[in-house]
A and B are shown apart, each in its own frame.
Chain A
Amino acid sequence: MSELKKIDRRDFMRGAAAAGFVGATWAASGEKTEGTVWQLDPSKCTQCGRCATHCVLPTSAVKCLNQFNICGYCDLCFGYLQPGSRNRDTGAENQLCPTAAIKRTYIEAPYYEYLIDEDRCIGCAKCVNACMVFGNASFYLQIRQDICINCNECSIAKACPSDSFSEVPASKPYIYLTGDESTTKP
């Protein structure tokens, strides 16, 4: 039976330092990979509603955005109003959003501006679907990176029926409809 060689603390520290040096050298010489974050592609989204129900956060990190250079500023906005609503006003019974997260502001006859209150938005895409069917499709969903905890395996991505989710470079974390952040601002 061979006798096991005892390793003292000094030998152990030397070995660890050598391994650390080799590892650091290998990492430095290799191709640098940029960090990624989860994001959804609005062109693939089918507004299934799972962004609202399948996020691990209490309120989903997915929020609705309005692309203002596409929005028609309609009085009869189907992203805002229930289909068949009696009046075109801010009455709760007339609003489509289940959390009243869309703010309607009069601009001039007959145009209105629609802003999303993201604290209220649950990312259900009900307004996105309505705007797509009846309007200009200016509403769309995006993951808000300041809310998302960037899970290793995004639970919404796993449930998404249209494979809209992917990891994108953290330096370009949003996919705007017209490719420009400024157009999401009024």
Chain B
Amino acid sequence: MKEGVHRSKHPWLVGLCMVAIAVAYFSLLGQSGFQEPGDQIRYDVSSFRDLDHIETRFVETGIIEPGIDKPKAMCVGEDGKIYVAGENELVVYGPEDKELVRFEIKASPICMTVAEDGTLFMGYNDHIELLDASGTVQAVWDSVSEQPYLTSIAVSDEEVYVADAGNKVVLQYNRDGQLLSRIGKKDLKNDIPGIEVPSPYLDLAINPDGDLWVVNPGLLGMERYRNDSSLVTSWYRASFQLDGFSGCCNPTHIAFMNDGKLITAEKGLVRIKIYDVTSGEYQELVAGSREFPREQSLKDIAVDKKNRILALDPRNNAVRVFELKEAGDEKRT
């Protein structure tokens, strides 16, 4: 007779316990034991993003793909030609967005404009280059400041205005490249709050009436200056609502429609909107987070002679074209 062997009276109960232990063990193996992050520690701006999910009068009607690396600068000439510049290359488009010419340029300009006589003004980090229509460099204007970062350029009949984000000023030159003045420096005696540039975006533009408008990105608004550097008027709109500018520093880019309305582009919640530039009154949304769901910011915006709004989108390195639905419908029919 064998000794020490002890048989259970309820072997099925022991088996059941072992199965239960095994199930518990393997189910716990699949769990980390840590709680997933809750709402208190999640950053959620979807409710603000949803504000621009509305019907607009604008529709995306086309795309221009310049096929160049990292395009950053775009402008429209008086003759309606569209210029797009990127890494070592510049492309010019004519009527019906057909490519006219493509030539090599030095490095990658950050901003660009074209004068009535066809001279191209290219803004690099720290200097400006003037090119003729064939891409030949005619002149180079060296930096006049320490740590410059030139982000926008506009040309009037007699003057050239350059936004220097590094020094938070607008440099006013004559057409020969002689520096005339620095606009936008803090001067509380003359009610100039000073241009604030928390991030490297500072844009300016001249409207169809010839007025110089400069973005004050840190104050989330616009300022108009005379050519003697004095401030004419200003308006600021800090808000997450559609009628204002959100984020630390917006708008990032501006342009004017042919009737003088202001087009703005914002980063963060990427939106293109229209304002009355004089009053600062919000008018309508052109495109929002539905059209730009993942972008951090656009590279540039412009308006062509057909009043189409052009947005240089870094996601696909292309120019996206927006126009009024009626115009878009006519085009499609």
Which A residues fall within an 8 A CB radius of B? 47-50, 52-54, 72-78, 83-84, 96, 98, 110, 122, 124-126, 129-130, 133-136, 155, 158-159
Contacts and interface: CB of A to CB of B under 8 A. Distances in A.
For chain B, which range describes its interface: under 10, 10 to 19, 20 to 34, or 35 or more residues?
20 to 34
Contact of B218 (A84, A110, A134, A155): A110
A133 B270 CA distance: 10
B25 interface: no
A31 B26 CA distance: 40
B6 interface: no
B230 to A, nearest CB: 21
B37 A74 contact: no
B41 A98 contact: yes
16 contacts: A50-B34, A50-B36, A54-B34, A72-B248, A74-B248, A76-B220, A76-B238, A78-B247, A83-B48, A84-B48, A110-B218, A125-B41, A126-B42, A133-B269, A135-B199, A158-B32
Contacts of B296: 133
Given A73-B198, A76-B238, A134-B268, A83 B45 contact: yes
B25 to A, nearest CB: 19
B70 to A, nearest CB: 18
Contacts of B218: 72, 74-76, 110
B268 to A, nearest CB: 4
Contact of A159 (B32, B42, B199): B32
B269 to A, nearest CB: 8
B32 A155 contact: yes
B35 interface: yes
A134 B247 contact: yes
Interface string B217-248: 01110000000000000000010100000111
Contacts of B34: 50, 53-54, 155, 159
B37 A53 contact: yes
A110 B32 CA distance: 46
Contacts of B43: 47, 96, 125-126, 129-130, 133
A72 B219 CA distance: 13
Nearest to B197: A72
A49 B37 contact: yes
Contacts of A48: 37
Given A53-B37, A122-B41, 18 more contacts: A50-B36, A52-B37, A53-B34, A53-B35, A53-B36, A54-B32, A74-B198, A75-B218, A76-B220, A96-B43, A126-B41, A126-B42, A130-B43, A133-B43, A135-B249, A136-B199, A136-B248, A155-B32
Interface string B25-52: 0000000101111001111010010000
Nearest to A70: B199
Contact of A134 (B35, B37, B40, B248): B248
A49 B246 CA distance: 24
Contacts of B268: 78, 133-134
A-B residue pairs, 6 tightest by C-beta: A72-B198, A49-B37, A124-B41, A134-B247, A129-B43, A134-B268
A50 B41 CA distance: 9
Contact of A49 (B42, B220, B248, B269): B42
Nearest to B247: A134
Nearest to A98: B40
Contacts of A72: 198-199, 218, 248-249
B196 interface: yes
Given A83-B48, A124-B37, A110 B196 contact: yes
